[in-house]
Amino acid sequence: MIRNTIAIAAVVAMPSLASALTVQAENDYATALSMVTPADSLDLPGTWTAAPLTVAPDASLGGQYRSPYQTSGLTAPGYYTVGVGSTYSGTSNPAELALTSLSNSFSLLWGSPDGYNTLELYNGATLVGTILGSQFNIPAQEASFVSIFADNESEYFDSVKFYSVNQNAFEFANVSATPVPLPASGLLLVAGLGALAARARRKSSDA
């Protein structure tokens, strides 16, 4: 199902193949880099259940992987990459990231998007969105900043898979996700539990 939105002229909005998730890609390299913090390039909103190759310190290897930061002159701790062949021995393709919380948006710095790069979002075992690098592939593109938004609760997700299909490579960094807010009833429950815990501590200190 296709849903297009254009936020500003430099942003290209794409269809997500499996659902109506909204996908926006900032394809201007300088602007894409301005949307991330290089020092946070290896930060994650969860844990790997199937890990990619971590390239740290930041580097590139011809025919294997290329840093999203390579020509920027910026210093980053490193990045992640998924691929094939002996260089990637002991790593996973696809890599799978289990998010800390159910989420409604996801973003990353996607290095030189290719047609064989695939990103899949899941809620449990249910696939809710598929995004291909070919949706925003531009010749000689260094990197894109890609943002994915759920438009309703049926599109919320709790894990993400990163594929590089039969070729090298899918490089990415600066991964982030936005947790789904607790409903008002949930916030009240948390507040109530906090109050009970505080009362219990006071009674313990008075004893």
30 pLDDT more than 80: yes
132 pLDDT more than 80: yes
Name 123's Cβ contacts closer than 8 Å, sequence gap at least 6.
102, 156, 157, 158
| 45 in any annotated domain | yes
186 pLDDT tier (thresholds 50, 70, 90): very low
| Domains contained in the chain, number | 1
pLDDT above 70: percentage of residues in the chain: 79
Domain span including residue 127: 11-181
How much is the mean pLDDT over the chain? 85
State the pTM of this model. Answer: 0.81
Residue 189 is predicted with a pLDDT of 47
Residue 190 is predicted with a pLDDT of 46
Domain CATH for 111? 2.60.120
Of 77, 122, 79, the C-alpha closest to 99 is: 122
pLDDT above 90: percentage of residues in the chain: 73
| 170 in any annotated domain | yes
Residue 62 is predicted with a pLDDT of 95
| 193 in any annotated domain | no
CA pair distance 198, 50, nearest whole angstrom:
40
The sign one gets for the Cα dihedral 50, 137, 176, 187 is negative
197 pLDDT more than 70: no
| 79 in any annotated domain | yes
Type of residue found at 136: F
| 188 in any annotated domain | no
Type of residue found at 132: L
